Amino acid sequence: MKKIALIGSTGSIGTQVIQTVLDNPTQFEIVALVANSSHKAFSEQLNRLAPAYAALTDGVAAQKVTQIPANTTFLKGEQGGLTALEECGADLAFIACSGFAGLAYSLKAIELGMAVALANKETLVCGGDLVMPKADKLFPVDSEHSAIWQCLNFNRNTPFERLVITASGGPFRGRKWETLSSVTAAQALNHPTWNMGAKITIDSATLLNKGYEVIEAHHLYNAPYSKISTVIHPKSIVHSMVQFSDGATMAQLSYPTMEVPIRLALTFPERLKGRLNSMDFTKALTLEFLPLIRQDYPLYDLALCCGERGGVLPTALNAASEVAVGAFLKGQIGFTDMYTVADKVIQRTEFCAVESFEQLCGIDKISRERAIRLIDEINA
């Protein structure tokens, strides 16, 4: 029985992890659940799963959790979430929360010697330099990195020539950036192939998400940026590819759900029978690939510039993006303003190499403050 600590249990990935656990009750036990503020959904999860430890990081929402199971230790606040992880004795921490907050949980889980199933992409985008030297049991959940992992036969040291990351292109594929200033949050949230949380869905419409994935791939597979490409693949069937020196290209195909990467990260090195059918090749299927023009997607381009320069810049970019996406979703700024805010925050960030988690927390804080001021200026 594998003991799981699930961070971000109420989200898109978190609820799919719980479904997998419920489908396989003899294989997995959830020993800790952590979420932020969705107290109703969290209360239902507590009553269904009765984990030994549980925490809601939002103090006000935590007051609203009633009917805590008798054997569950219930904690509050960000420190409560980390304590739940520390005390629960899990074999594997599934880091499925959104945002910069994920880095603290990933570092804690690694320090505790747990295996880490990593969905939270901000962990590597912001803290790849801190995480990778210590991470020997890190199982990628982002579908592109899971695909690459599979193509490398699960060995991150397998030599390769190039990593090719696929991108659906999002809901505005084919449109020029300058024409997008008045698109609404509802239009941007309408992703053609994936059903995900709000932040990553908006980032998939701007392609910032794809820039993040290039940075993640750089850290996970020790790949220079010159050996990572992105290609537009509208159907999201090929999840990514690896090219080798003899001219061979390996690809991983499956229908666009997160079931394969979630299950693989839970059961590696085994594969777990899923609900998902394999691809049906008895019917005609056409797969299309189109080149991605980096300059047409300014947030993708900015992410790559930050990744290539490295240091604290990706952390500043992420903080600006978390604030800007929140403001866009609330109707405070337009779609293309998200780039303006992020770009100006980066211009005001001084480059320095990553030294510590505390240093990154400081960059995160100051960059959020800068982004909030820039949004106020846009609205003045």
- Residue 353 CB, nearest distance to ligand NDP (Å)? 24
Q: Alpha-carbon distance 339 to 321, whole Å?
A: 8
Half-sphere exposure at residue 261, Cβ-oriented, CA atoms within 13 angstroms: 28
Could you tell me the CA-to-CA distances from 329 to 190, 216, 221, 251, 378 in Å, in that order? 13, 25, 33, 35, 15
Query: Which of the residues 128 through 157 are near Mg ion (CB under 5 A)?
Result: 142-144
- Select from ligand NDP, Mg ion, none the partner in contact with residue 115, using the beta carbon and a kind-dependent cut-off of 5 to 8 Å: none
Q: Is 10 in the site for ligand NDP (CB under 6 A)?
A: yes
Structure tokens at 175: 């449109």
Which one of 63-71, 109-117, 193-201, 299-307 is the stretch in contact with ligand NDP (CB under 6 A)? 193-201
Query: Which of the residues 55 through 114 are near ligand NDP (CB under 6 A)?
Result: 57, 78, 81, 96-99, 101
Of 83 and 146, CB closest to Mg ion? 146
Query: Which of the residues 343 through 372 are near ligand NDP (CB under 6 A)?
Result: none
Give the strands of the sheet with 162-167, arranged side by side: 249-253, 238-243, 162-167, 228-232, 290-291
Q: Alpha-carbon distance 376 to 285, whole Å?
A: 49
Q: Is 142 in the site for ligand NDP (CB under 6 A)?
A: yes
Query: How many chain residues are in contact with ligand NDP, going by CB under 6 A?
Result: 33
The residue among 334, 343, 230 whose CA lies nearest residue 290 is 230
Orientation of helix 208-220 relative to helix 198-206, angle to 10°: 100
- Residue 211 CB, nearest distance to Mg ion (Å)? 12
- Select from ligand NDP, Mg ion, none the partner in contact with residue 36, using the beta carbon and a kind-dependent cut-off of 5 to 8 Å: ligand NDP
The single-letter code of the amino acid at 286 is: T
Which one of 7-15, 21-29, 265-273, 276-284 is the stretch in contact with ligand NDP (CB under 6 A)? 7-15
Q: Is 122 in the site for Mg ion (CB under 5 A)?
A: no
Q: Is 236 in the site for ligand NDP (CB under 6 A)?
A: no
Among 72, 120, 230, 315, binds ligand NDP (CB under 6 A): 120
Q: Give me the count of residues in the chain.
A: 380
